[in-house]
Chains A and B, each alone.
Chain A
Amino acid sequence: MANLNVDSVKQRTFDAIVIGSGMSGGWAAKEFTGKGLKTLVLERGRDVKHLKDYPTTNMLPYEFEHRGELTAEIREKNPVVSRCYAFREDAMHFFVKDTEQPYVQEKPFDWIRGQQVGGKSLLWARQTQRWSDFDFEGPARDGFAVDWPIRYKDLAPWYSYVEKFAGISGNNDGLAELPDGDFLPAFPLNSVEDHFKKQLKAHYGNRHVISARCAHLSKPNQIHLEQGRAQCQNRVLCQRGCPFGGYFSSNASTIPWAERTGLMTLLPHSVVQEVIYDEKAGKATGVRVINAQTKEATEYFAPVIFVNASAFSTNQILLNSTSSRFPNGLGNDSGLLGKYVAFHNYRARITAEYEGFQEYATDGRNPAGGGYIPRFRNLHKQETDFLRGYAAGFRADRSKNSDTSGFGADLKNQLLNPSWGIWKVGSHMMGETIPKAESQLSLSKFKKDAWGIPLLNINLDYDANDDKMVADYHAQMEEMFTKAGFTNIQKTDSHQAPGLDIHEMGGVRMGHDPKTSLLNKYNQLHACPNVYVTDGACMTSTSTQNPSLTYMALTARAVDHAVSEMKKQNI
């Protein structure tokens, strides 16, 4: 029987374990298998196979029972996830429902989760911008959080590496604050977006509207065709899963690529309870997994473990990985695990109208969503009474409208023969928030989930800096809109809870010093170097860019480091 046991352990032993199959976990799986390592990928949700498991992808609007809308019953049962713009009839099967996995809101937090193979990479808004040194040097310059242990030059080659494979469309705009990259052709701006770009250039010089950079195959290269992906067909129904593989997701790209090596074992329905730390060996040896359906516990082993469970879930796993060496969570000598979490401030919007360019509209759909305004506030030096700044989305749309005030044959005629309206423009703010010690995650002492894991307490909020930033965004955008000749300007502050931005970050931050950070410059836990964290949990600060591209680059870089350290027998 002893032999059986040995065999069983052998069968459960891999070269690498990756916890999570979303944006960053998918990359870890691809990189490890690409370097010849037998890799176990653990996913707590169900499997979602590219094409096969996109049940709504080719449905026409009239084929949806409620034409895309949520029923009152679903909204009532799921107040949190119902606030997410993408939680609609066509994609609600890819979101975690409120009751499925509870958490404790010490302060209001809308935790939007996609737990299945591919995670939220199926659902993301696909905006991809590089960080620059204006971002990496932020905490050191402005005196918050801790200094990032890396700079742009450390990540630049890895940005190129992931951009080429994922397929990012965009222009090389030559802006120091938003570095150029290895791009496919951009989706161009329309007439009014171009107009706004020119107006900003003329009035400010240092404020820019660029074509939003996004993870869409505007013109696929050989490497994308080899992934089985094809050119984006401008459906803009991405949240359903794309039948063309037109946008980047783990499901369409990294996971099948890893699978093809024959080296990946993908286990869905696998809830990681903890990372196992071996006191004698002085390192992590594996993970304990609860089968989501049978609740049976199984241990798996590997010399290196990547935690990519999504920012806050990664914190939860590490906090729950206790041992006599690490009584407060794995690698948590500093006591900072779960602290200094932050997010992006998406509260502010502004809309307006434009009477010009009546001779143009648009035809087809723009998957990039229009324009992007990189951060211009406090960029080179502190110039306002708040720290940091914001990026902004900007788009102009012109649609055909019908006068629906009448009835009868006249109304029908109006509905069937709409006429072009005027241009509507809109912008939303993506503000940097400051990570603070009091913004923190912890484990509930009383409540456990269905798998025996303590619930996550979430405690973070806006502060005065965020309010000032909202006011400045409104004032600056109003001024810019006015200079561009836009009228009927409307400013709104949604006061939405943190979380709805779906850009929660931190808690396992990178840094130079083990006393003030959890991870080193290669994303290894200072105190347990064979465990790496490369999802949003690793972020020292949030800056203003949509973060996924940075997670991808950090992950590819960290796997390269891990494999090289394994060869040197350092881990």
Chain B
Amino acid sequence: MNRRTVVKGLLLFTGGLVLAPSCVMETSKASIRLKNLDISGEDEKLLGEVVETILPTTDTPGGRTLGLHRFTLKMVDDLRGEKDQKAFTDGLDAFKKLAKKELGSSFMEASPQKRQELIAAVNAGKAPQDVLAFYKLLKDHTITGYLNSELVMTKLRVYELVPGRYNPYFPVKTKQQS
């Protein structure tokens, strides 16, 4: 299957998570049920744009389409302790403030070009510590979610459930040869 076919089928892939909707569909609430994190619908949209900047749509779907922002929220909510959860929400607030300061507008209102510039700075460690802590959690879970998504595992970097073989001397090209 080539990548174009994958793009056609992109609506099938949602990061592979079955996410329970939150009980009350208020616009101010996140669209998934979270036990510990206090995340608004606006925050969720913002995170969607940040993960889309971290892993953008190219000829294959990007972070937002794959729902990696919601995946990250669920993992921080379920897997991480209170300390990380606080670092995530505090850092998210700090990120919003940083965006306002650096971009002169909210991250959502900024152009893709501006967004990229801000993420480039944060990614390079040029941001306050609380923003960096938030960004690291988001990026780590985004990468895990991406590599463990149905799209990647079935189409892009295929995971074999049943290899049925072991070749202890598998020839590969060395760097010089490639």
Contact = CB atoms under 8 A, between A and B. Distances in A.
A73 B78 CA distance: 8
B166 A66 contact: no
Contact of B169 (A191, A358, A411): A191
Interface in B46-69: 53-56, 58, 60, 62
B172 A359 contact: yes
B78 A71 contact: yes
B28 interface: no
Interface string A36-75: 0000000000000000000000101111011101111100
A407 B144 CA distance: 14
Contact of B55 (A63, A364, A412): A412
A362 B167 contact: yes
Contacts of A193: 168
Interface in B134-178: 139, 143-150, 152-153, 156-157, 159, 161-172, 174-175
B166 A364 contact: yes
A404 B168 contact: no
A365 B75 contact: no
A406 B122 CA distance: 11
B153 to A, nearest CB: 6
Contacts of B145: 67
A358 B159 contact: no
A60 B159 contact: yes
B169 A408 contact: no
Given A62-B148, A407-B119, A364 B164 contact: yes
A385 interface: no
A408 B56 contact: yes
A112 B73 CA distance: 32
Contact of B163 (A235, A404, A420): A235
A415 B123 CA distance: 16
Given A407-B119, A415-B146, A188 B168 contact: yes
Contacts of A527: none
B56 A409 contact: yes
A234 interface: yes
Nearest to B119: A407
A171 B110 CA distance: 65
A418 B157 CA distance: 10
Contacts, number: 130
A235 B162 contact: yes
Interface size class of B (residues with CB under 8 A): 35 or more
Interface in A428-469: none
Contacts of B24: none
Interface string B66-95: 000000000100111100000000000000
Interface in A62-92: 62-63, 65-67, 69-73
Contacts of A188: 166, 168
Contact of A67 (B148, B157, B172, B175): B148
Given A71-B78, A412-B55, A365 B166 contact: yes
Nearest to B167: A363
Given A60-B153, A60-B161, A235-B161, A358 B175 contact: yes
B7 interface: no
A406 B124 CA distance: 8
Contact of B153 (A61, A71, A234): A61
| 8 nearest A-B residue pairs (beta carbon) | A62-B16, A363-B170, A190-B168, A364-B165, A364-B166, A363-B167, A364-B163, A358-B174
17 contacts: A60-B159, A65-B78, A67-B144, A69-B75, A71-B79, A187-B166, A187-B168, A191-B169, A235-B161, A235-B163, A360-B172, A363-B166, A405-B123, A407-B54, A407-B55, A408-B119, A411-B143
